[in-house]
Amino acid sequence: MLGYIDKIKEISERVLKEGTVEMVIGFQKGTLPMMNEPCFVKCSGDVQRLVWDSNCGINLANYLTDRKEKIAVIAKGCDSRNIVTHIIENKIKRDQLFIIGVPCNGMIDKSKIASMFEKEIIEVVEDQNNIIVKGEGFEETLKKGDVLQENCAICIHRNPVIYDELVSDMVEEQRDVDRYEDVRRIEEMEPDKKYGFFDDLLSACIRCYACRDACPLCYCPTCFVDESRPQWVGKGQDPVDIRTFHFLRAYHCAGRCTDCGACERACPMEIKVRTFTKKLEKDCLEAYGWEAGMSLDERPPLDTFRPDDPEDFIK
């Protein structure tokens, strides 16, 4: 995956020079270990700013919403699925985009890695399969496979589903992955236990809405929690208001979420916010055989009707 960057730069430079696009959206090197910052490049001389490594977990489809320019965007498997969703939902047009597809090996989980060390991490470098973590008086090599973001570890669509040019050959998809082990564990609980489980899950929430704002699906001009006429949800720290935000936001992503993990990565309080969306993802797969963002030609389950849609919940 490290070798991708030369190809990314080459393509970016070409499409900018040839005038195919007005800007390239990608990542530049961050100022902290395990952080890169989304950025745009408008002139071909600036493509040297672009980087690619295992710290590009932010979903770049989020930066395409309602843009008018012609844009080249660097897309991992999940980003590409969100680009498909964006196109289906008319948030951008296919012919505005030049998609630079990146077959992905997964992004690393910065919180998990930070929690493995007592001391502060000063530098993180990587080679093909290893992550080398350095700090004051220590240096340790971790297997990349052991420190992937949780969504990446169970990802079965690492290759872009839509692209104009690929930066490398496709990577092998993971097989025999149990994507919903954690969802089933909750499903087996009694109602009160479930309720308590989510109370604990959300107890640290400060309502910064980073999960929502990092999500490419959350592009409503006014989110329901920000609505004041009428005001649907209280704005304080009441746990019921906090839960209402999380579960309704998740519901708004039903049949659209690609499990890109941007929400969880963005959370400053390390809340596993995917716990909500994964249940919906599992149900969509089981009830409608649906995975979001896989094809431009199929309408999402919640805006179509099929005679065989399950309806045993209706009396």
Residues 35-94 that bind other proteins (CB under 8 A): 35-40, 42-43, 58, 62-63
Using the minimum distance from each CB to other proteins, give the nearer residue, 156 or 189. Answer: 189
Per CB under 8 A, which of residues 209..248 are in contact with other proteins? 209-210, 212-214, 222, 226, 228, 234-238, 240-241, 243, 247
Binding of residue 146 to other proteins (CB under 8 A): no
User: Number of residues in contact with other proteins, rule: CB under 8 A?
Assistant: 73
Binding segment for other proteins (CB under 8 A), chosen from 4-12, 75-83, 160-168, 185-193, is 185-193
Half-sphere exposure of 143 (CA within 13 A, CB side): 3
Binding segment for other proteins (CB under 8 A), chosen from 3-11, 96-104, 150-158, 180-188, is 180-188
Binding segment for other proteins (CB under 8 A), chosen from 11-19, 76-84, 94-102, 203-211, is 203-211
Site for other proteins (CB under 8 A): which residue of 69, 196, 220, 295?
Answer: 196
**CA-CA distance, 203 to 243, in Å (whole number)?**
10
Per CB under 8 A, which of residues 259..278 are in contact with other proteins? 265-270, 276
Contact 80, 160 (CB under 8 A): yes
Q: How far is the CB of 265 from other proteins (least distance, A)?
A: 7
Peptide bond into 103 cis (omega under 30): no
Gyration radius of the chain over CA positions: 20
Which two tokens mark 5? 């960057």
For the CA atoms of 291, 296, 302, 303, the dihedral, rounded to the nearest 10 degrees, stands at -170
Contact 125, 144 (CB under 8 A): no
Closest by Cα among 112, 125, 157 to 259: 157
**CA-CA distance, 112 to 129, in Å (whole number)?**
17
Q: How far is the CB of 89 from other proteins (least distance, A)?
A: 18
Binding of residue 3 to other proteins (CB under 8 A): no
